[in-house]
Amino acid sequence: MASIIELNDATKSFGRVNALRGISVRIDAGEVHCLLGDNGAGKSTLIKILSGVHKPTQGVYTFEGKPVELTSPREALDMGIATVFQDLAMLPLMSITRNFFLGREPRKRVGPVQVFDSGTASRITSEELNKIGIKLRDPDQAVGTLSGGERQAVAIARAVYFGARVLILDEPTSALGVKEAAVVLKYIVQAKTNGIGVIFITHNVHHAWAVGDTFTVLNRGTSYGTFKKAEMTRERLLQMMAGGEELEELAVELDLIAKRDPSEAGKLEHKVAEELDREARGTGDKH
């Protein structure tokens, strides 16, 4: 299967700071590709490269097999790469319809002038949201009256309606409760079944495992690798995310300090070392 997006050996530097080093990812149609990593792992920088906000300092970005150099998010959007950032780029006091068509308003002629075609816009908004299971009382209600999960759904439906080939979702479930997160995960699967390539950025392994086909784990700007679901277990992903190897190293250091120091402080460090060691070795058992 030919990829839609491919990023090969990408590096991004800001002055002397290397935010990303040697990152390669591939996004296929009808696939949910999860980018996992803790805060500072490089997830935000990577999606800004994929969405056209940043250019990679080094590396090759290809779209449908052809090298491209994106200069703006608008150029990426015109190619079919739609990004839903955490803030959703919505205006809470404006209507759902207005937010759905923000910047792409349908127009009709009234006399010599073109005006916003509110009737058509409201009808399309209701139809598109109904397709993904949201039945609106009134498409002209303020988008701020919707729940967090519903707002995410509006953003996803908007991207799909305007022809997204690749949908980049930046931590869409991070501020949601269990039920609201489940709603968003359902819409991610629906987008996948429509043949859209989905890039799901998250630090929640459980959410990623529920919908993901492929997983790339980032750590401090580098990649632990990319794995298909059949090659990985949720417990192993959890351990990689928790920094299992680093915890083991810290446990050993604390244990050595405690052995040199027989005082109460040393005993406490020894206890902490034992707890860290258990956590590093049994991360999956605790979840």
Q: Is the pLDDT of residue 245 over 60?
A: no
The answer to whether the CB of 201 falls within 8 A of the CB of 169 is yes
CATH class of 5-93+142-241: alpha beta
Q: How far apart are CA 167 and CA 67, in angstroms?
A: 19
The answer to whether the CB of 20 falls within 8 A of the CB of 10 is yes
Q: How far apart are CA 32 and CA 37, in angstroms?
A: 16
% the chain with pLDDT above 70:
82
Residue pointed to by tokens 């990649």: 223
**pLDDT value, residue 261:** 60
DSSP 203: S
The percent of the chain in helix, strand and coil, each rounded to the nearest 5, is 45, 25, 30
Residue pointed to by tokens 């079919």: 80
Q: How far apart are CA 283 and CA 266, in angstroms?
A: 25
Residue 240 pLDDT grade (very low, low, confident, very high; cuts 50, 70, 90): confident
Orientation of helix 234-242 relative to helix 264-281, angle to 10°: 140
What residues contact 189, with CB distance under 8 A and at least 6 apart? 32, 211
Give me the mean pLDDT over the 123-151 stretch.
85
pTM, two decimal places: 0.78
Query: Residue ranges of the domains in the chain?
Result: 5-93+142-241, 245-286
The answer to whether the CB of 151 falls within 8 A of the CB of 127 is no
- What are the backbone dihedrals phi and psi of residue 46, each rounded to the nearest 5 degrees, phi first? -65, -45
Type of residue at 119? G
Question: For the chain, what is the total number of helices (H) and then of strands (E)?
Answer: 10, 12
Q: What is the pLDDT of residues 207-224, one digit of tens each?
A: 999 999 999 999 888 898
Q: What is the pLDDT of residues 153-191, one digit of tens each?
A: 888 888 889 889 999 999 888 878 888 888 889 889 988
Q: Is the pLDDT of residue 287 over 90?
A: no
Give me the mean pLDDT over the 38-66 stretch.
90
